[in-house]
Amino acid sequence: MPKLTLLKHGSHIHDAYEPLPGETDGAAGSSTDAARPEKKGTGILQRFSKHEPATERPQALGWIKHRYTEAIEYTNMVEGLRGAGFLIGLFGGSGSVFGAAYPWYIGLGSGDWFGLLMLLVFTPIMFLFGSWVLAFGLRFDLFKPADLPIIFDRKHRKVYRILREEQIGPLGFFKPWPLMACEYEWDLVDAEHQAEIVTSGKLVTRNHFLMFAVRKSAEDPTIIDSFQIANANSLGEQLVPAMWEHIRRFMEERGPHLPSPGEPLAAIAESPSWWQCMGATGPFGPNYFTEWRENTGFQIIMHVGLPFFLPMFLIWGTGNWLGHKTSYRIDWPDEVLAAIGPAQDDARTYRAQPSGTDEE
C-alpha cells in the first residue's frame, strides 16, 4: 500500500464535527473551559492542564510500542478486542435475521389481518437490521489496518495520527473507510478525562476515557477532531490521570520515554495461530494450564458456563485470527519519519509456543 500524505493541522475536519446545515459553528462546539465544564458523575470529569501535574504516579500501561529519540508512539490496537466486531456481527445479525423469519415459521398472520400487517412491516425491518449488523461486524474487523498508531513528538511539538474514518450518512456504510495521516499542533490539543455510565440490566458501571480534543487554530477553539489513548477496558478513574501525566511530562518537561526503567513496551502478536487467538480472547489457548493456576476462579466460571461461553469464544477467537490474517500494515508518511528519526526499539512480538509459554 502506498504511503499516506500527511494532512497539516486544520486541513482535515472530522465529518462528525462539520457545522450542521444552516449553522457556522462546529457540531461539537468549542474546546474551552466555559464551553466544556467539568461534571461529577458522567461526561467531562476533568480538563487537564499541560502545566500542572495530574498525579504523582504516571503510567503507560503497556500502550507504548516504539521509542524514538524525541518521540513516543502509542499503539491503538488491543489484541483481546480484535474480533469483537466479528462476534457482535454474527450473533446480532443472525439473531435479527432469525427474528425476521420466525413469524413466518409460526404462521403469524395466517388468519388475522393485524398479524399479517405486523408480519409485513416487522419482517423487512428486522431482516434489514440484521443484515446491516452482520455486514458492519465483518467490515469492522476484517481487511483493516494492523494498527492506527499515535506519535507524540516533543522536539517539534506535534502529534501524528493515522486514522480510519467512516463516511457518515445513509450511504456511508457502502463507501470504503478512507485512511489518512494527520498532524496536530500539540499546543492546540486539549486533554480530558471523560466518563460514561453504562448498564447491563442490574449492573451499572462507569467507563473512563482519556480523550483529546483538537482545536481549529490558536484564535478559533472550534473542535475539528478528537481521539483517545487506550480504552475503557484498560483504564479506570485513577489510571486516566496517570496515563495523561506520562504524556504531559514527556512533552512539557522532557520526561522519560517510559514511566519507569525496564517497563515493557506493547506486546504485539506476530502472525498468531488460531489457537493463540483463542487464548487472546478467552480462557483457552496455549496458556490454558497457566490460566488455571493464576485465574482459577475465572476458569471455573467459564467452564461451568461452557455451553453458553464456548460458541461465543469460538467465534470471537476465529474473528481475531481472521482479523490478523486480513490486516495490512500502514507506513508513516516520509515527512513524519524524517521528523522523528529511526525507532530506538520495537514493540515486543510473540507467537504461540508448544510449551504454553510466550516468546518475547
Write out pLDDT tens, residues 241-267. 999 999 999 999 999 999 988 788 887
In a domain, 38, yes or no: yes
Per-residue confidence at 335, pLDDT binned at 50, 70, 90?
A: very high
Say which range, 150-159, 233-242, 345-354, has the weakest mean pLDDT.
345-354
Show the 3-state SS of 74-120.
ECCCCHHHCCHHHHHHHHHHHHHHHHHHHHHHHCCCCCCHHHHHHHH
Rg (CA), the chain: 23
- pLDDT above 70: percentage of residues in the chain: 84
Q: How far apart are the first and last CA of the chain?
A: 28
In single-letter form, the type of residue at position 308 comes to F
DSSP 255: -
What residues make up the domain containing 220?
1-77+151-169+177-255
Structural domain tally of the chain? Answer: 1
> Rounded mean pLDDT of 166-174?
59
**pLDDT digits 0-9 by tens, 176-196:** 677 899 999 999 999 999 998
In a domain, 296, yes or no: no
In single-letter form, the type of residue at position 251 comes to M
Tell me the whole-structure pTM to 2 decimals: 0.80
In a domain, 126, yes or no: no
Kindly tell me if the per-residue pLDDT of 175 is higher than 70. no
Given the C-alpha cell 500527511, which residue does it identify? 6
In a domain, 48, yes or no: yes
Average pLDDT of the chain to the nearest whole number: 82
- Give dist(CA 283, CA 91) in Å, integer: 20
Say which range, 37-51, 117-131, 220-234, 314-328, has the weakest mean pLDDT.
117-131
In a domain, 290, yes or no: no
CB of 83 within 8 A of CB of 323? Answer: yes
**pLDDT digits 0-9 by tens, 264-305:** 888 776 778 888 888 877 788 777 788 788 788 877 887 888
CB of 192 within 8 A of CB of 47? Answer: yes
> Rounded mean pLDDT of 53-77?
92
In a domain, 322, yes or no: no
In a domain, 146, yes or no: no
In a domain, 138, yes or no: no
